């Protein structure tokens, strides 16, 4: 009889939010009813999302999770004010990623732009009031996207310490009380025609390395001049649509800029920290499902008359995976806690927390990819068989390792912080 379960994988329980149990159970039930039975057909649904869309609707619209960050009086759940935003998000992302990490990222990225305006201590009440109805007064799933990456390179835009926004080509020009935005973004999660609201990383002074010129501006997708291309076909992550977005003389009110010169740049680093937390939690959640499926596999298959898991060399590989899973999960919650408690660890946008988030993220991703390679190999031809789900997690998680600037940018930021490098 199976005694162990994914809930035996450690996380620091003293950090957990009071809502952890409730939200965790709710999402797990949703995942088991709405996603896991269908997910093997998701790859073929990458363009239309006919099978995927109803599951999003249920989670975000009907169960209402898309309202989470907005203040209660605007119809939200007020998590932007919570001391448990990191650990709470971590649990939710894990539970969704256990079923499908692309759904977890599509869900998580809804909040990426909103972190900028809904979270203490930098709430922009006017923008919350402006956008809350879009998310809170509907039972349809409503998506948002954070458009940073441009054709010439995404890593450079995130490489803020050194390049200070100088490579951003999307421009914002103030014309009276409106921003006029021009540029081309690509790859944002929830692009490809999905999003209702974009946050767009722009420069007000192209080519300069100046935090003041960095602008974080909200652009509703239906505004004139916004054009979205169809989704790209990818190696995995079918539930996340990614495509091109063109902004041609798009006019938005001047107060759609999140906070203004200097502050946009500063708080944007918190967006990066949150992205790193999400990435680690997606890895941790997906690996929890890998644990479940591998447990089944090594229990259903035998070698030389013994259960596969009872073969010492195979058990060595299983142990290595379990050890990584333990460490990655603890790491996810530890980082979440660090983001929850600025009073102890400093502001979420500090260089320290950005660098440490990058370190945990690339550690988690590298370990996960190495483990998945080894586990797929243990399964022989079943390792490449979609019915066993492991190969899906392998394909999906690969992009977690590559996005947000790729591994090399992570390495540079980590070295820069720990070793005080100045030119990387």
Partner 1 sequence: MIHAEVFPLLREGVQESDISLARSIREWAQAELAAKRLELKEDHEGLLRPAMRSLFIDIGLQKAPWPEDCGGDGQSAAEMAHTAAVALQEAARGDVGIAWLLALEWAVALSCLEGSGASSGAVKRLSALHCEGREPVVLSLVPPALEGRATGDLASWRGRSVPLAAPQGGGWALNAGGLRPLNSGHDADLFCVLCCTAEGEPMLLAVPGDAPELERDRPFLKTGLAASRNADISLHNVNIDEDGLLLRGEAAWRALLSWLYLGSSAVCTGALLAAYEIIKEWGDTRVIKGRDSVFKDNPLTASLMAEIGANLLACRLLTSSLAQMLASPDLYGGAGGDAVNCAALTVWMKVSAAAEQALDNTMELMASAGYAKEWQLERYWRDVRTIAVSLGNRELARMELARHFYGSAAG
For helices 390-402 and 351-378, give the axis angle rounded to 10 degrees.
150
Compute the least distance from the CB of residue 300 to partner 1, in Å. Answer: 5
Half-sphere exposure (Cβ direction) of 147: Cα atoms closer than 13 Å: 40
Q: Return the one option of partner 1, ligand FAD, none that residue 40 interacts with (CB less than 5 to 8 A, by type).
A: partner 1
The alpha carbon of 275 is separated from its chain's Cα centroid by a whole number of angstroms, namely 5
Q: Distance (Å, rounded) from C-alpha 240 to C-alpha 16?
A: 28
CB contact at 8 A, 298 and 317: no
Closer residue to ligand FAD (CB): 333 or 362? 362
Compute the least distance from the CB of residue 51 to ligand FAD, in Å. Answer: 19
Residue 201: closest CA among 306, 305, 271: 271
Instruction: Establish if 168 lies at the interface with ligand FAD (CB under 6 A).
Output: no
Contacting residues toward partner 1, per CB under 8 A: 40, 43, 149, 152-156, 159, 162-163, 166-167, 187, 232-236, 242, 300-305, 308, 311-314, 316-317, 369, 373-374, 376-387, 391, 394-395, 398-399, 401-403, 406-408, 411-412
CB contact at 8 A, 409 and 159: yes
Among 106, 109, 119, 290, binds ligand FAD (CB under 6 A): 109
Q: Return the one option of partner 1, ligand FAD, none that residue 373 interacts with (CB less than 5 to 8 A, by type).
A: partner 1
Residue 397: closest CA among 318, 314, 290, 306: 290
End-to-end CA distance of the chain: 54
Instruction: Establish if 409 lies at the interface with ligand FAD (CB under 6 A).
Output: yes
Q: Distance (Å, rounded) from C-alpha 22 to C-alpha 27?
A: 9
Q: Return the one option of partner 1, ligand FAD, none that residue 148 interacts with (CB less than 5 to 8 A, by type).
A: ligand FAD
CB contact at 8 A, 254 and 204: no
Compute the least distance from the CB of residue 358 to ligand FAD, in Å. Answer: 12
Compute the least distance from the CB of residue 303 to partner 1, in Å. Answer: 5
Closer residue to partner 1 (CB): 122 or 234? 234
Instruction: Establish if 147 lies at the interface with ligand FAD (CB under 6 A).
Output: yes
Q: Distance (Å, rounded) from C-alpha 158 to C-alpha 268?
A: 10
Instruction: Establish if 113 lies at the interface with ligand FAD (CB under 6 A).
Output: no
Compute the least distance from the CB of residue 14 to ligand FAD, in Å. Answer: 32
Q: Return the one option of partner 1, ligand FAD, none that residue 188 interacts with (CB less than 5 to 8 A, by type).
A: ligand FAD
Instruction: Establish if 149 lies at the interface with ligand FAD (CB under 6 A).
Output: yes
Half-sphere exposure (Cβ direction) of 269: Cα atoms closer than 13 Å: 24
Closer residue to ligand FAD (CB): 128 or 404? 404
Positive or negative: CA dihedral 261, 411, 273, 283: positive
Chain residues binding ligand FAD by CB under 6 A are 109, 146-149, 153-156, 159, 187-189, 237, 240, 242, 399, 402-409, 412
């Amino acid at each position: 009889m199976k005694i162990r379960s994914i809930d035996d994988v450690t996380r620091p329980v003293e950090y957990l939010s009071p809502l952890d149990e409730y939200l965790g159970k709710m999402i797990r039930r949703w995942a088991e009813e709405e996603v896991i039975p269908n997910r093997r057909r998701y790859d073929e649904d990458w363009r239309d999302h006919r099978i995927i869309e109803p599951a999003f609707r249920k989670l975000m619209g009907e169960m209402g999770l898309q309202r989470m960050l907005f203040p209660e009086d605007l119809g939200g759940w007020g998590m932007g004010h919570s001391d448990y935003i990191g650990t709470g998000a971590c649990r939710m992302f894990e539970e969704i990623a256990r079923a499908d990490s692309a759904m977890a990222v599509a869900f998580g990225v809804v909040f990426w732009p909103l972190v900028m305006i809904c979270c203490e201590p930098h709430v922009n009440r006017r923008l919350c009031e402006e956008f809350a109805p879009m998310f809170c007064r509907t039972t349809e799933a409503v998506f948002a996207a954070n458009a940073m990456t441009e054709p010439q390179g995404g890593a450079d835009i995130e490489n803020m310490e050194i390049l200070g926004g100088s490579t951003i080509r999307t421009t914002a020009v103030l014309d009276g009380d409106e921003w006029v935005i021009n540029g081309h973004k690509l790859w944002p999660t929830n692009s490809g025609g999905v999003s209702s609201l974009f946050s767009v990383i722009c420069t007000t002074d192209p080519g300069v390395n100046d935090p003041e010129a960095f602008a974080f501006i909200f652009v509703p997708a239906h505004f004139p001049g916004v054009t979205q291309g169809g989704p790209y076909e990818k190696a995995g992550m079918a539930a996340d649509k990614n495509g091109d977005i063109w902004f041609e003389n798009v006019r938005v009110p001047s107060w759609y800029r999140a906070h203004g010169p200097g502050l946009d740049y500063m708080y944007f680093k918190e967006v990066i920290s949150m992205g790193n937390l999400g990435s680690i939690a997606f890895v941790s959640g997906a690996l929890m499902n890998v644990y479940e499926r591998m447990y089944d596999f090594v229990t259903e298959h035998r070698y030389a008359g013994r259960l596969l898991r009872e073969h010492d060399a195979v058990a060595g590989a299983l142990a290595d995976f379990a050890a990584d899973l333990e460490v990655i999960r603890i790491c996810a919650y530890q980082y979440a806690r660090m983001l929850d408690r600025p009073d102890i660890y400093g502001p979420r946008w500090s260089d320290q927390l950005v660098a440490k988030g990058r370190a945990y993220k690339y550690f988690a991703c590298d370990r996960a990819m190495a483990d998945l390679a080894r586990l797929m190999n243990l399964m022989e031809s079943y390792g490449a068989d979609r019915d066993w789900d492991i190969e899906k997690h392998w394909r999906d998680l690969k992009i977690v390792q590559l996005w947000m600037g790729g591994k090399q940018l992570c390495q540079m930021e980590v070295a820069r912080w720990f070793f005080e490098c100045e030119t990387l």
